[in-house]
Chain A
């Protein structure tokens, strides 16, 4: 079955540090890949997505590239801010059926200190 593996957390960084959050996946076929973010006390919201190999998703200074050869979708940001403190979820959806659903990783908490 499909699965998403995220690096263990939590992660604590100083403001303006470089961020990498690792995500690898197992899936049949060619899934679409997503990063969702959950700010304190809120529901999840889409951060970025990529639908095919070598696609790069980007939003709010975050980027992730769909790497089929390494089955990875690592999230990066060059300079984090305190406002980026949140829980980040990697997810995939397969495209093999009309009723396909999202499979989420366990999430990782990022704390950015001033």
Chain B
């Protein structure tokens, strides 16, 4: 029962390099999310997806792209990494949006990215 799995767990990049973070969930959840966590800022939503083939912008989408080609996977891409993108990234999923019915999010363990 893996839940939400993120890879890689750690990565160091140089400014201008590109990379992709992979999130996989085995719970057949419809909704998936990417957050970043920074000291004193809490969690901020980058992008989210309400189903296979869909994506939408969150609070801080600039500099990131996402894709949801398969229901179980949600990829977060950085095309040209910047030091401001040094952060811990969390993926999460839920059965449906956290609106009526108050479904809850299951989080991955996080991916720590450092951009030099």
Contact = CB atoms under 8 A, between A and B. Distances in A.
Provide the main secondary structure of the chain A interface.
loop
Interface string A86-108: 00010001111111111011110
Interface in B88-116: 90, 92, 97-100, 102, 104-110
B2 interface: no
Q: Which of A42, A46, A96, A101 has the most CB of B within 10 A?
A: A101
Contacts of B107: 43-45
Q: Which of B56, B97, B98, B105 has the most CB of A within 10 A?
A: B98
B74 interface: no
B90 A43 contact: yes
A41 B105 CA distance: 18
A34 B98 CA distance: 11
Contacts of B106: 45
A20 interface: no
Contacts of B44: 104
B98 A42 contact: no
A94 B99 contact: yes
Contacts of A89: 42-43
B41 A93 contact: no
Interface string A27-38: 000001010000
Contacts of B48: 99, 101
A77 interface: no
Contacts of B50: 98-99
Interface of A: 32, 34, 41-46, 49, 51, 89, 93-102, 104-107
8 contacts: A32-B98, A32-B102, A43-B4, A51-B102, A96-B99, A99-B50, A104-B43, A106-B42
Interface of B: 4, 33, 40-45, 48, 50, 56, 58, 90, 92, 97-100, 102, 104-110
